[in-house]
Structure 1
Amino acid sequence: MEQELKDKIESLIKSENVFLFMKGTPEMPQCGFSAGVVTTLKQLGIPFGSFNVLSDMKIREGIKEYTNWPTIPQLYIKGEFVGGHDITIQMAQSGELTKKAG
């Protein structure tokens, strides 16, 4: 991965305590899994930043390489990769998501 792309991805991740790479926007998610993560974060009252990977193919492919995780959405908390939709839902149900984001 080129350094410029890596720096941009890291800058996005660090821009918010909780950051979501998703398809679409929080107001208009473009896939069910992205919508599920957005809904979960909103229900828990966790503020988050986001990036629409559909708007930038370099970041869309780069984020998969960055984490070695093949799918979108990807959630980061305090700069650390947490996981995708299923992991986020499990963490929300166990209370771990609120604890980690707090």
Structure 2
Amino acid sequence: MPSPILKRETSARDSDEWQQTTSSRRKHSPGEAYIITCIMFSAVKFARAARPSLTGFLRYCSAQVGSKEYFDKLVADNKVVVFMKGTPDMPRCGFSNAVVQIMRMHGVNYDSHNVLADDNVRQGIKEYSDWPTIPQVFINGDFVGGCDILLQMHQSGELIEELQKVGITSALLEQEMEDDKGEKK
């Protein structure tokens, strides 16, 4: 027995109203037909041009979230990556907030990932780094550590050196150099 929806569509097709709307859609002036053809041709050209980037995007998304390949891609694509609870604008734990504050003090642009948004990321990053706690910081694809290690590196000046190795000049170092120039004058 056909569903009521299919039955309604069939009865609508048989009506004069449906025939009038479909016949009015088929008739276009030569100018309208030309415009429609141009739009369709442009859309096809755009889709073909966008295909390489779409392919790259699909390849990027093809790694299963939480897999080793997924994390390899994330940490390789950016100089500094932080896996944290919350976001830099709204950290959801004190340790994540401390990492955000250290990064701000050094003026570091970094890629952040909220582990609370996806349990696969939350568990996967712990397995990937073999580190049980969040936040986790990666510099140049290498696991640095969590909040405590980053804080020690910040206090000792080692973080400035690590950032310089990947081409990032710390805002604290820039400030120190400006202060030295001011004293020499």
Is TM more than 0.5 here? yes
Q: Give me the whole-angstrom Cα distance separating, in 2, the residues matched to 1:97 and 1:46.
A: 11
State the Cα deviation string for residues 68-98 of structure 1 (Å, max 9, x = none): 1000000000000000000000001111112
Please give the TM-score of this superposition, normalised by the length of structure 2.
0.52
Q: Is there any run of 5+ residues in structure 1 with no aligned partner, and where? A: none
Letter of the 1:47 counterpart: N
Corresponding residue for residue 77 of structure 1: 139
Amino acid at match of 1:58: N
Aligned letter for 1:40? I
Identity %: 50
Larger radius of gyration: 2
1:52 to 86, 92, 114: 114
Deviation at 1:7, TM superposition (A): 1.0
Q: How many Å separate the matches in 2 of 1:81 and 1:29?
A: 21
Which one of the candidate residues 79, 82, 99 is aligned to 1:37?
99
Pairwise CA distance, 1:15: 2.1
- Decide which structure has greater helix share: 2
Name the one with the larger strand percent. Answer: 1
Please report how far the alpha carbon of residue 46 of structure 1 lies from its aligned counterpart in structure 2 after TM superposition.
Answer: 1.6
**Which stretches of structure 1, 4 residues or more, deviate above 4 A after TM superposition?**
none
TM-score of the pair, normalised by structure 1: 0.93
> What are the residue-to-residue correspondences of 1:1-102 with 2, within 5 Å?
4=64, 5-102=67-164
Which structure has the higher relative contact order (CA within 8 Å, separation 6+)?
A: 1
- Looking at structure 2, the residues matched to 26 and 9 of structure 1 have their Cα atoms a distance apart, in angstroms, of 19
3-state DSSP of counterpart to 1:75: strand
